[in-house]
Structure 1
Amino acid sequence: MSNSIFLVLDMMNDLVHEEGVSSKGPYGEQVRSRNIVQNTRTAIDKARKAGVPIGFVRVGFSPDYRECPPNSPIFSKARDNNIFKLGEWGTQTHPDLGQRDEDFDIVKHRVSPFHATTLDAILSAKHITRIYCSGISTNAVVQAAVREGHDRDFEMILLEDCCCGLTREEHEIAIKSLERFCQMTTSTDVEFK
């Protein structure tokens, strides 16, 4: 049994699908130019082959947005734009990533994948000590996962080529700030164990 998990962060249709609401904007451009979906699928396939469980982390809210923080600069527009609704296509994981029934599905209502989610219980039940992670955006959920995972004494490994921000510069600044808290690798070089 593996003591590792691969967390795939916010790789949802609203954010990364070519028909998602973000496809025409900066996220869509970065996702395509950096081959984020393809790189992530490569990493998922390698993790599966190594017997490492996958956890898909998704941000989402009830249809009435009851969990959505009204004062959040990040989430306050979700209601206005009718996005991030659980149970709808936009909050489903991108189909090319091949999510399976046995994968963990972790829903969050804030930036951090640890805040008020089932993640702690999963990590404890599976005796996880090492977390591989990737996703978008680098300077939000990825940064939160790495820093919080580090402070909870997990070995953190970030797959840099499976992450992006709104701009290349935003991504690079976030990666630079995370180098002190995790090991860096890529979908090509990662060795899941």
Structure 2
Amino acid sequence: MKKTLFLVMDMMNDLVAENGFNAKTYGVQCQERGVLPATAAAIAAARQAGALVGYVRVGFSPDYREAPEVSPIFSGARKNGIFQFGTWGTEVHADLAPQDGDFDIKKHRVSPFYATSLGAILRANKVERIVMCGVSTNGVVHSGAREAHDRDYEVVVLEDCCAGVTPDEHMHAIACMGRYGTIVDSTAFDWFA
């Protein structure tokens, strides 16, 4: 098996929980697409195959000192009081709970690579392949796929473990990502390859 890291990205309560801040957008899409159960099954399969598992979470200090005021995305976090590290909203959804030894990668921007520990984790563990999923498809997943590709990693996106605000947004992002890696249904992916 190739040395693999499975990145579960921004699957936090503020984004995907049934009673979270974005329950009527990302939460609905996650429910309709079955994202949480598919991701839980993929995490179990990754662990069984001996892949590393990492969780990427976006967030800020309570005073939002890391949040750019000019960002169309993150200015909304400040205004609505979400994405604060240390709160329920930035915890990984309980259905996907991390285990001891998993990586916790905190970020302050869309990309899982920008100003995070991800690069050091990949090098230290001699990772060859990054399998990824998350919310949103056109945000962290798309950004992560492009950047992983440009850092010479094999990229695999588990399509059924991703969601956007709308089905169209999700599918447009998936269509774009096919240039940077393999798009596959989680049940069809061979973790042992």
If the length of structure 1 is used for normalisation, what is the TM-score? Answer: 0.97
Provide, for residues 48-84 of structure 1, a one-character-per-residue CA deviation record: whole Å limited to 9, x for no partner: 0000010000000011111001100010111110100
* Identical columns (%): 53
Give aligned pairs, total. Answer: 192
**Which ranges in structure 1 are unaligned for 5 or more consecutive residues?**
none
Aligned match of 1:58? 57
- The within-5 A match list for 1:81-92 is 81-92=80-91
Other structure's SS at 1:76 match: helix
1:1-193 matches, within 5 Å, as 3-23=3-23, 25-193=24-192
The one-letter amino acid of 2:151's match is R
CA drift of 1:192 comes to: 1.2
Deviation at 1:98, TM superposition (A): 2.5
Deviation (angstroms), 1:6: 0.1
Q: RMSD of the alignment, in Å? A: 1.0
Q: Is the 8 A contact 2:2 2:129 kept in 1?
A: no
Q: Are the aligned partners of 1:157 and 1:183 in contact in 2 as well (CA < 8 Å)?
A: yes
Shift of the alpha carbon at 1:101? 2.0
DSSP 3-state at the match of 1:188: helix
Q: TM-score, normalised by structure 2?
A: 0.97
Residue by residue over 1:151-192, the C-alpha shift from the partner in whole angstroms, topping out at 9 and shown as x without a partner, is 100000000000011100111111111111101111211111
